[in-house]
Amino acid sequence: MPFVKIYIHLVWSTKNRVPHLNSKELRLTVWNHIRENAQKKEIFVDFINGYSDHCHCLISLGVDQTIEKTVQLLKGESSFWINKNGLTSEKFEWQDEYFAVSVSESQIDRVRDYIKKQEEHHLKKTFNEEYEEFISKYGFQKLKG
């Protein structure tokens, strides 16, 4: 039996960064649903939070899970559920793109704290500013198009 512990910090936004998740109550409802759905699919969500136009999720991948499939399951089912339950005034969609970066065991508490403080973090900085920082910090290349 393999023993695997690989932490990934995932970040994804709403389609066109529309602030659909515009109340704390709605965000908590969505984050709780994503966590519950993940548990049913045997996806370990260590921590989840976000703001009106994006989600941060710290997960630990299982031995047979890929980042792509895990993100697809989390985003796809949650957008379907949000629309089915009429939680937003317009059709809800997540953006296709996402960030996924590995997190070392020694940094888990820092990442949890960062995710936990999204509300206050985004009083000072927009998601666009955070997005640009992620691009720069992790050396991602933006696609031209």
The pLDDT tens digits for 53-110 are: 999 999 999 999 999 999 999 999 999 999 999 999 999 999 999 999 999 999 999 9
**CA 89 – CA 73 distance, rounded (Å):** 23
Rounded-to-integer distance, Cα 43 and Cα 7, Å: 12
3-class state of residue 41 by DSSP:
coil
Q: Closest Cα partner for 54 from 90, 99, 103?
A: 99
Q: Indicate the SS3 state at residue 99.
A: strand
What's the pLDDT tens digit per position in 28-54? 999 999 999 999 999 999 999 999 999
At position 123, the amino acid (one-letter code) is: L
Report in angstroms the alpha-carbon separations of 37 from 70, 97, 110. Answer: 11, 21, 25
Structure tokens at 78: 């949650």
The full set of domains in the chain, from first to last, is: 6-138 (3.30.70.1290)
For residue 16, pLDDT beyond 80? yes
pTM: predicted TM-score of the whole model, two decimal places:
0.89
CA-closest candidate to residue 58, choices 43, 50, 68, 48? 48
